[in-house]
Amino acid sequence: EISGEAAILRASFPPRARAVLLYPPKRIPLILPNCRDATSQPIRRSCISKLEKYMSKPIAVGEANFHAEVIASAVPVLVDFWATWCGPCKAIAPELEALAAETDGKLKIVKVDVDENNDLAAQYGIRSIPTLLLFKNGAHVDTHIGLASKEDLLNFAKPHMS
């Protein structure tokens, strides 16, 4: 049974994940998709690249997994409330992807489609999009509304990153 920080990290990975890896330096079990159980072996390079790929891209989140991905996250989370028909939302998407790659696991970026997750948008008072909410230790700590550059987004998130 995994508990504590390891359980939080496990919850942040997709349910299709099958393998537990011990990630140095703390040797915390991490769940990675399509990697064989490597708990007693060194982490395979292919699994490391899967971990880096997973952490360096925004993740689609809905009402079903919002708690696991955002509230229970061990790292700060930037939540992008967006919609497919929203022009500024499409314009900020590459900036968020660049930010995810640059922050490299220090900040998780997730996307919530407001058309598919009305209750979640209402719960957080989303009235215009794109709206970015920053969560740290499960609590909403800051909000940004509208289009922004990668540099502006980094300045917005940096004070909350460890």
**Catalytic residue set:** 86, 89
Cα angle for residues 52, 53, 59 (degrees, 5° grid): 115
Q: Residue by residue, what is the 3-state secondary structure of 84-126?
A: CCCHHHHHHHHHHHHHHHHHCCCCEEEEEECCCCHHHHHHCCC
CA distance 89 to 33: 29
